[in-house]
Structure 1
Amino acid sequence: MTKIAVPRILAPLLAGATYARLLHLLVGWIFMGVVLLIYPGTVGLTLPRIVAECVAVDSVLLMLVALIPATRRAEGVQARLLLVPDREQDIAADSSRGWADRWRTALWLIGRVALGSAVGMATVVGVNDGGGLLAGPRGPSYLPLLPVALFAYGWLVVAAGRLQLAMAVRLLGPSPAERLAEAELRAERLLERNRLARELHDSIGHALTVTVLQAGAAREVGDPAFVAKALEVIEETGRRAMDDLERTLVLLRETPPGANGTATEQPGIEQLPVLFDTARAAGSPVEAWIDVPAGTLPGVLARESYRIVQEGVTNALKYAPGAPLSVRIAVRDGQLELRCTNRAPNGTGGTGGAGGAGGAGGAGGVPRQAGGGRKGGKGLRGIRERAMLLGGEATAGAAADGSGEWVLAVRLPLRLGS
């Protein structure tokens, strides 16, 4: 089917939105009509004076109507339907929440009545005067001017409708405070998604690393007792990972914690011995010193500390399987200090290892990288993000003394925000 090309200057006159906006303008003229019915002394006055005096009288009524919170919602819904905005969210459909919304609604009602009345009066005058001229004795001579008059009236409606839409977006749209609140809500949601992503990376990544090491070690060693122990560690690690995954899914579904009885609390620093046992079972000797009095750490700090140490242990198991790992946690000078140190065999990051599981894990396909290759990992970047959000700092890299050790050091203030 062939489409007929319409000149750009005529396209707005043929658009359905133009006539929907005309209806919206004429609805606003009803307020003017009510005043005209009861306002005395309009006989003999000029049209501009009638419009000005009627709008002045009507403004008082409109301001009283604007005090009703539901007025803003009713006007917003009507404007969305008839003004045809490009985006409906540009025009709010909520009730007034404060005096600022009520004042903006009042200005909108007054502006709507004034503009609608002007267009309505122009319509009445054009029909009356134009009809009188055409019905007069010289009516046929005015017929050539009829298309020009209709064209001018059409563009008057287009311009008034666009102005009405701009007023609606300005006065009925979200206030600066509402826009700020919406931006803050989006930022909070983004931060929450990032936090959940870190949770999944830390817990699932740790579980997969331990599982790969144990499976590879069991295959290489072949000792039934060792295989049974490896399977036990894999089972326990997988169970904890499933608990972490279920807890995260509960948060994603926005279900109240514990509503289905399956979600578990987030692990804290008191669960670190279990984490170290898992690393030892994977073949990496772990020496841990934890000097944190009970009840010293706030809940969020205890949970985030666990995740930081978990990622440090996972990093060591991944890049230096079988290498001894040293973890020191202590409270000094109002700060929590976390330090994870490991030295890979021969000073490298993943050269297999002494100890059955570590060496077998390296042979079983564990990535073999130099210690310096860890800096760009998502896990270490997540540790830095956690530390920064808690007001602390984190560093990771090869020891400055050239000993070949890889050191992860984190300092977190006990009082958040200090």
Structure 2
Amino acid sequence: MPRILAPFLSAAVYARWLHLWVGCVFAGVILMIYPGTYGWSPAEVLLRAVPLDAALLVLAALVPAMRRAEGVQARLLLLPEREQDIAAEPARGWADRRRTAAWLVGRVALGSLVGLLTVLTLTACGDLLTRPAPKVYGVGLPSQGGALWYPLAVPVLLFGYGWLVVWAGRLQLAMAVRLLGPSPAERLAAAELRAERLLERNRLARELHDSIGHALTVTVLQAGAAREVGDQAFVARALEVIEETGRQAMDDLERTLVLLRETPDRVATEHPGIEQLPGLFDTARSAGSPVEAWIDVPSGKLPGVLSRESYRIVQEGVTNALKYAPGEPITVRVAVRDGRLELRCANAVGTAAQARSAAARGAQARNASARTAARGGSNRGGKGLRGIRERAALLGGEASAGAESGEWVLAVRMPLRLGA
């Protein structure tokens, strides 16, 4: 019983009933202004007034804004589960106009039917309540001993009419989704927009991971070294490096936040490029890891996007070296060969480095496991190398990482001409 009565407690049923009545009102207005309709039989109404209604509705559907108006009204009154199921955009072609015309004709027809049944149901209920032997739809009811039962038929009649409204509203909603829903072109545009936003979020996530991760790695290493070393000069230098790294991280964070702000007047900011690599290497040296770098790239040779992505790739390689092999030498080569930009970042993985790396990875694994257990989720590692491969792939290149002859080597090759 609760499931049978539940629809009558929903606001959506009454909102859709109102939407159906709007279509009925349109047909009623046409009948009132159409000359000579008084005294027509139902067959004459169908043969004369209905074609006029349909013609006016088809003409209205030719106006592009009609589709937007109907879509907005359907969203407000039909209450779909997702607003995206019903478009609120003007018609962009003849296909949209044809669908809008079919929607208008179907909406008015269904609304007129519900309106007619509403009038007949209320009339029948009034007859059942007021007349000893009423006539319902032209059928006489027996008067002997039956008048007391007539009022009891009213709730049954209203209950049946209520379910008629429920199903008519659901049918109207299905029609709206089918005829006012996004066209294939709109679905394609929406999919492209979602893909573009996803790529933008992934790019911003990589920017934050590379920049903030590098800054935090350097900060932790410097702070730990300053705590272990009693030399005041070294402590002062470590604090200076921490301060400088923090400023750079704040600048990178501000650039990323500018991209996240959806303001029309947001200012384009300069991202670090390959020219800023010497500063990155100085920071790594201050953290205690010797860096040997060879940069053989003609000035102004690299496109801006390639220069920025190259900086981030080298930054991630240096950060990983500082994190997993602290104090070990780092070798970086950046060169242009055969129309391609080649990046190579290698760090020694000796016995001591392996022990420190294993200890660091073990500590990180334990911390990650603790965080995972607390969150009840899984550990998704490898974001740095995954981000490097994504950066290289988006620029038409390739990346590889692994152990080679006692070294951990990160190698990336990307074409100078994007799309080549």
> How does the TM-score come out when normalised to structure 1?
0.82
Instruction: Check conservation: 2:324, 2:361, Cα contact below 8 A.
Output: yes
Are 1:308 and 2:301 counterparts? no
Instruction: Check conservation: 2:326, 2:353, Cα contact below 8 A.
Output: no
**Cα offset, 1:320, TM superposition:** 1.3
- CA, structure 1 residues 284+32, in 2 after alignment: closer, same or farther (shift >3 Å)? same
Instruction: Check conservation: 1:344, 1:351, Cα contact below 8 A.
Output: no
Measure the CA separation in 1 of the matches of 2:219 and 2:9.
68
Residue 226 (structure 1) aligned to one of 231, 234, 245: 234
Are 1:112 and 2:114 counterparts? no
Counterpart residue number, 1:194: 202
Q: Provide Cα deviations, 1:356-382, integer angstroms capped at 9, x if missing partner.
A: xxxxxx9xxx93779xxxx95322222
- CA, structure 1 residues 185+329, in 2 after alignment: closer, same or farther (shift >3 Å)? same
Count of aligned residue pairs for this structure pair: 391
Residue 367 (structure 1) aligned to one of 360, 364, 367: 360
The farther-off stretch of 189-198 and 116-125 is: 116-125
Residue 25 (structure 1) aligned to one of 20, 41, 46: 20
Residue 158 (structure 1) aligned to one of 141, 152, 166: 166
Gaps of at least 5 residues in structure 2 are: 135-142, 364-379
Are 1:205 and 2:200 counterparts? no
Residue 123 (structure 1) aligned to one of 101, 104, 118: 118
Instruction: Check conservation: 1:347, 1:405, Cα contact below 8 A.
Output: no
Counterpart residue number, 2:374: none
Counterpart residue number, 1:358: none
**Cα offset, 1:23, TM superposition:** 2.6
Counterpart residue number, 2:251: 243
Counterpart residue number, 1:180: 188
Counterpart residue number, 1:412: 414
Q: What are the equivalent positions in structure 2 for 1:144-155 lying under 5 Å apart?
A: 146-155=154-163
> How does the TM-score come out when normalised to structure 2?
0.81
Residue 322 (structure 2) aligned to one of 317, 320, 323: 317
Instruction: Check conservation: 2:128, 2:154, Cα contact below 8 A.
Output: no
Q: What are the equivalent positions in structure 2 for 1:342-361 lying under 5 Å apart?
A: 342-346=347-351, 348-349=353-354, 351=356
Are 1:391 and 2:396 counterparts? yes
Identity of aligned residues (%): 74
RMSD between aligned alpha carbons?
A: 3.2
Q: Provide Cα deviations, 1:250-270, integer angstroms capped at 9, x if missing partner.
A: 2222356874xxx85110011
Measure the CA separation in 2 of the matches of 1:276 and 1:162.
66
Instruction: Check conservation: 2:61, 2:101, Cα contact below 8 A.
Output: yes
Are 1:58 and 2:53 counterparts? yes
3-state SS of the aligned residue for 2:344?
strand
**Cα offset, 1:348, TM superposition:** 3.6
3-state SS of the aligned residue for 1:322?
coil
Measure the CA separation in 1 of the matches of 2:264 and 2:154.
68
- CA, structure 1 residues 99+122, in 2 after alignment: closer, same or farther (shift >3 Å)? same
Instruction: Check conservation: 1:207, 1:237, Cα contact below 8 A.
Output: yes
Residue 90 (structure 1) aligned to one of 73, 85, 97: 85
Measure the CA separation in 1 of the matches of 2:72 and 2:400.
55
Residue 296 (structure 2) aligned to one of 282, 291, 310: 291
Counterpart residue number, 1:265: 270
